[in-house]
């Protein structure tokens, strides 16, 4: 019985450490580069940063950073996994958009697309 209690305690400690380490991971989309000639205000690409909720391991928002100041006033459209997240008018060097429920898990995010028009 004592062996079983020690084994259960060790297992609980390992799973707690695994969960704790997962909660501090940052999810980063890296640099996204526009492929067409339609985006003339930002030629070096933008970066997607994800709003991870560690309580339930879901992604609640996406923040697009590194937007060139010349894009101010243009419309930005964002799609995650092929579904349009939303539209925002660029007012600075970053734009945040909430994701719709059900919120995706970080593992389920396969791609993000960003369009800037205007």
pLDDT at 49 over 70: yes
Q: What is the pLDDT of residue 1?
A: 57
Give me the long-range contacts of 39-42 (CB less than 8 A, separation at least 24). Answer: 39/115, 39/116, 41/68, 41/70, 41/71, 41/74, 41/116, 42/67, 42/68, 42/70, 42/71, 42/116
Q: What pLDDT sits at residue 44?
A: 86
* Helical ranges in the chain per DSSP H: 2-23
Q: For residue 11, what are the CA distances in angstroms to 14, 18, 55, 66? A: 5, 11, 21, 43
Q: Apex CA 102: angle with CA 79 and CA 16, to 5°?
A: 110
* Residues in contact with 15: Cβ distance below 8 Å, sequence separation at least 6, in sequence order: none
Residue that wins the pLDDT comparison between 38 and 53: 53
Q: Lowest-confidence range among 16-20, 31-35, 42-46, 78-82?
A: 16-20
Least confident segment among 27-36, 58-67, 108-117: 27-36
Assign 63 a pLDDT band (cuts: 50, 70, 90). very high
| Residue 92: pLDDT over 90 | yes
């Amino acid at each position: 019985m004592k062996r079983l209690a020690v084994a259960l305690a060790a297992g609980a400690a390992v799973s707690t450490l695994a969960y704790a380490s997962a909660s501090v991971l940052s999810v980063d989309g890296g640099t996204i580069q526009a492929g067409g000639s339609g985006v003339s205000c930002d030629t070096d690409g933008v970066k997607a940063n994800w709003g991870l909720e560690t309580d339930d391991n879901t992604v609640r928002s996406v923040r697009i950073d590194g937007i060139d100041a010349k894009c101010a006033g243009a419309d930005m459209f964002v799609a995650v996994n092929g579904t349009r997240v939303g539209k925002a008018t660029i007012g600075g060097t970053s734009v945040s958009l909430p994701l719709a429920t059900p919120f995706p898990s970080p593992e389920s995010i396969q791609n993000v697309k960003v369009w800037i028009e205007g």
